[in-house]
Structure 1
Amino acid sequence: MPTGVPGPTAAPGPSLQQALRTEHRAVPGLVQALGLLTTTQAGLVELTERALQDSPVLERADGAPCPGCGRHTAGGPCRRCRHLAHGRELHEDTDAGTDQFRTLEAQARLEVRPGHGAELTVVLGHLTERGLLDAPVREIARLHGLEPGRVAEALRAVRAAGPPGLGAPDVTTLLAEQAAALVAAGSAPAWTADVVASCLPEVADDDPAGAARRLGITPAQAAQAFEVVRRRLRPAVRWDEAEPPARVPADVFVYRAADGGLDVEVPASAWFGLAIAPVPAAVAASAEARAWLRGHEDRARRLLAQIDARASVLERVARAAVGFQRGFLEAGADRHRPLTRTALAHELGMHPSTVSRAVKDKWMRVPEGRVEPLALLFGTSVAARAALARLLREAGGHRTDALLSGELGHRGFPVARRTVAKYRASLR
């Protein structure tokens, strides 16, 4: 049994294994010929839109994409997204600046973990007009008789759904987060956030030399950051400049099943509402017209088959990986189990390159609504790195690699001192 895959109790029986080995010879070759396995969901959307424009026989059912996941529906959010958003309508068409908090609430309900709707409403009620949180999380929890951890989760969802600085405890933190967002976008020098965090008195006194001495940068660099602070930062959330959080289209959707387990869905042709249009009787009566349409029909049917084949292979890979990493998805990095693409390919009877192409650049939406890389389910050191990060936080970084190696071994992660040094460097 390969390392990192389920033990004998989870292995398919002999007949199933034989079927999988047969598929190893047939399906990957088909998908390689189709060339869609490496296509992302965004690329698939573009492909279907282009095909709808070019093909006279391909049509889309009446309706519109769900604003939460993109699934074609008769109108409004799909059933799964309504459940994820606790039954609240997604106000996708709210004009910017007219009711930002209503839009924020709809987006935050897609982000927050299930069962935290009451805490989310409370947190939204504690946001000031500037977008600051008017009390600490523990105080909010005490005032409303809630668990601090649940309030913190609701605040995380609000901050993830809103513009930089939203939900900050004070103006300095709000400005620092606005600066960090500009730095991350390449719109400000890398030291701007440090200037905001440590040198606001120098900014007020127009003293770039003092800020330079404090931060170990040049006065010219400090002056650059001063200019960004004065022109780009505001002591309130910038709703006017904030774009909605970038939501990468998910290729794989992981849902909480009725029995408490995890279910997996991958968009196929029906997801996009695609179908072959019926041929009108008048057209069918003409042999010349039928011959002309036959070529378009063949191409349209091949496209639908390619989309469905991609979905079938990707779903098998994702379903196996999600099932194996259920503990990780439910409890976090500490429960991540070592899993390689090669081991999973062997278990599924696929070629390793097929699994690699299926996983590459794909994204999954987890039950809480977050969109994460599908590759997050793979790896052999995720739990060990998480344990090391926790140890470093507990010790304030003041432990040798040898001591950390020993402590990790006591916690069930036998990691060599040299490997600890490598992990430590990457964490920094």
Structure 2
Amino acid sequence: MELRPNQFQQQRQSLSITGQVIQSIRLLQYGNHELEEFLREQADDNPLIKVVGGASDMPAKSEAARGVENNRQSCPNAALRLPISGAGDDMPGPDQYIEARVSLRDHLIAQVDLMLDAPVDRLIAREIVESLDADGYLRRDTEIMADLLGVPADRFDAVLRTVQSCEPTGVAARDLAECLSLQLAERDRLTAPMRALLGNLGLLGDYKIDALARVCGVDAAGVMELARQIRELDPRPGLQFDAEPLVMALPDIHVEMAEDGTLSVALNTDVMPRVLIDREYHARISARIDGTAEQRFMIDSMRNANWLARNIDQRAQTILRVATEIVTKQSDFFRYGAGSLKPLSLKDIAAEVDLHESTVCRAVADKYMMTPRGMFELKFFFTNALGVVDGDDMLSVETVRHRIRQLVDAEKPSAILSDQAIMDTLRSEGIDIARRTVAKYREMMDIPTSRKRKRLKAPLPVSRGFMAAAE
């Protein structure tokens, strides 16, 4: 068989996705903070784009924008230097007013440098500090560390005690018991019963009060008082440092209910950034430029700005359509509470609003809704379904969890419900559920087992002479 090059014509159809469609998909799945950050980057690259509004919009930024506009009007030829990265961002933003965060390493080294004079001791202290994890614990073997540094074990331990005396109290501990004991010693609460309790934290985790009472030499009320003192401590002192600032979740949708029960849905335009196109600036600059490259740049900038503004509007309308349909499907939840939440899937919403299921998934990602019952993520309203014993009706998983929580909260100390008893109760109410499903939902809600709940809810005698016995 002879192989040789050949030319031929072939006609076929193919589906291609444009850059504008890709941008539209990306914008839809962005949350408010990610969207605003993306638009600010686009504004830096495109001189025709103005970003207004948004969660982090401050008066200082408006003043900066007016300053840039004044510069353009006074010096129109200066606009030929395209693009100028960072224009309009010279004024301080809200992030520049956030307190500078000091790392745990820097905080401890600053202290040990003042407490230790010998260079060898400072070297040991720095090795200890560098070995701490995010919680502030020293997880490495101290004997191995001393051998690697070539120092006696007693000298290493002395430096370790110095590091443990630094703030925050409890840092450089080798285990939880040592961390708690360091904090209790500082408060002058490290009594003999407390030492016994710290040596048996496993019994406290299992809530074996009677066994702890025998070990600590106090009664049940005394054990509860010791446990109360432990709850006041910080088991992870290192987390006070090196923590990223939390980004506040802001609602994208507002839902209000009138006196007659009618629900209204609206976009929260205060947190949604908008894109404005500076057409006056475009006309003024286009009339002054002569080069082909500059003209092409302005044409591309205008086209990209138009596409971006159109995609932002389309994003807002898609989110509003999806949110409105969610409120319509889950209207009973807003009127009567979590027990009335219905089974709902992305496919159900997609069929109603005539969108693809993946588009609905992007529209609800990282979006929040403010309702008369609080703020919820849009994904909260999508729950799986459970069948009922008689009939074809379905119940949402969230409704079943809510009912399990109600049963556990209402149980008496003398009549704790097991998973089997909860299953029997739900089946008597018409909910078809298995015992292992009850156990799974209970664990998801962080509800202890029936044996542990029985110990937790058991009444304890009150002892007036505990503190004297503990001392």
Point out where structure 1 has 5 or more consecutive residues left out of the alignment.
Answer: 1-24, 76-91, 98-181
Partner of 2:418: 400
Residue aligned with 2:280, SS: coil
Contact map agreement 1:340 1:379 (CA 8 A) in 2: yes
1:389 aligns with 2:375: no
Task: For residue 35 of structure 1, give the secondary structure of its aligned residue in structure 2.
Answer: helix
SS of residue matched to 2:326 = helix
Q: Partner residue of 1:311?
A: 316
- Residue 367 (structure 2) aligned to one of 344, 351, 363: 363
Counterpart position of 2:197: 210
| 2:233 paired with 1:229 | yes
- Secondary structure of the residue aligned to 1:293 is helix
- Give 1:277 deviation, angstroms: 0.5
- 1:229-308 counterparts in 2 under 5 A? 229=233, 246-250=247-251, 252-256=252-256, 260-266=261-267, 271-280=272-281, 282-286=284-288, 288=290, 290-308=295-313
Identify which of 404, 409, 416 aligns with 2:427: 409
Say which structure, 1 or 2, has more relative contact order (CA 8 Å, 6+ apart): 1
Letter of the 2:287 partner, please give it. Answer: A
Q: How does 1:85-100 map to 2 (within 5 A)?
A: none
Helix, strand or coil at the partner of 2:376? strand
State the Cα distance separating 1:301 from its structure 2 match. Answer: 1.2
CA deviations 1:274-327 (Å, max 9, x no partner) are 210123454242463554312111111111122222222222212111221122
Confirm or deny that 1:56 pairs with 2:47.
yes
Is 1:44 the counterpart of 2:44? The answer is no
- Pick closer, same or farther for the CA change 1:299–1:53 going to 2, 3 Å: same
How many Å apart are 1:348 and its aligned residue?
Answer: 2.5
Change (3 A) 1:324 1:304: same
Q: Is the 8 Å Cα contact of residues 345 and 355 (structure 1) preserved in structure 2?
A: yes
TM-score under structure 1 length normalisation: 0.51
Alignment partner, residue 134 of structure 1: none
The CA deviation string for residues 149-204 of structure 1, in whole angstroms up to 9 with x for no partner, is xxxxxxxxxxxxxxxxxxxxxxxxxxxxxxxxx9xxxx998889999xx9999944
**Equivalent position SS for 1:309:** helix
The worse-fitting range, judged by mean Cα deviation, of 306-315 and 280-289 is 280-289
Q: Distance in 2 between matches of 1:375 and 1:305?
A: 26
Does residue 1:424 correspond to 2:442, yes or no? Answer: yes
Letter in 1 for 2:198: A
**Partner SS, residue 371 of structure 2:** coil
Aligned match for 1:34, one of 20, 24, 45: 24
CA contact (8 A) 2:29 2:362 kept: yes
- Structure 1 distance, partners of 2:191, 2:295, is 80
Structure whose alpha-carbon radius of gyration is higher: 2
Give unmatched runs, 5+ long, in structure 2.
Answer: 1-14, 63-93, 100-167, 206-225, 385-396, 448-471
Post-superposition CA distance 1:111-141 (Å, at most 9, x none): xxxxxxxxxxxxxxxxxxxxxxxxxxxxxxx
Residues 361-380 of structure 1, C-alpha deviations (whole Å, 9 max, x = no match): x2313135954321101103
Alignment of 1:187-198 (within 5 A): none
Partner of 2:380: 376
Distance 1:41 1:188 in 2: 42
The answer to whether the 8 Å contact 2:32/2:271 transfers is: no
- Determine if contact 1:269/1:304 at 8 Å carries over to the other structure: no
The alpha-carbon distance between structure 1 residues 65 and 43, as it changes in their structure 2 partners (threshold 3 A), is: closer
Summarize the Cα distance change of 1:407–1:413 in structure 2 as closer, same or farther, 3 Å threshold.
same
For residue 264 of structure 1, give the secondary structure of its aligned residue in structure 2: strand
TM-score normalised by L of structure 2 = 0.47
Query: What RMSD over aligned residues (CA atoms) do the two structures have, in Å?
Result: 5.1
Count residues in correspondence.
278
Give, in whole Å, the separation in 1 of the partners of 2:179 and 2:435: 34
Deviations 1:213-248 (A, max 9, x none): 365379xxx9xx98x938999xxxx9xx99997522
Q: How many Å apart are 1:48 and its aligned residue?
A: 1.0
Q: Is the 8 A contact 2:344 2:383 kept in 1?
A: yes
Percentage identity across aligned positions? 22
Q: Aligned partner of 1:35: which letter? A: I
State how far apart, in whole Å, the 2-side matches of 1:366 and 1:344 are: 19
Distance 1:325 1:189, change over 3 A: farther
Alpha-carbon separation, structure 2, partners of 1:39 and 1:393:
39
Matched residue SS, 1:408: helix
**Distance change (3 Å), C-alpha of 1:304 and 1:192:** farther
Instruction: Report the secondary structure of 2:29's partner residue.
Output: coil
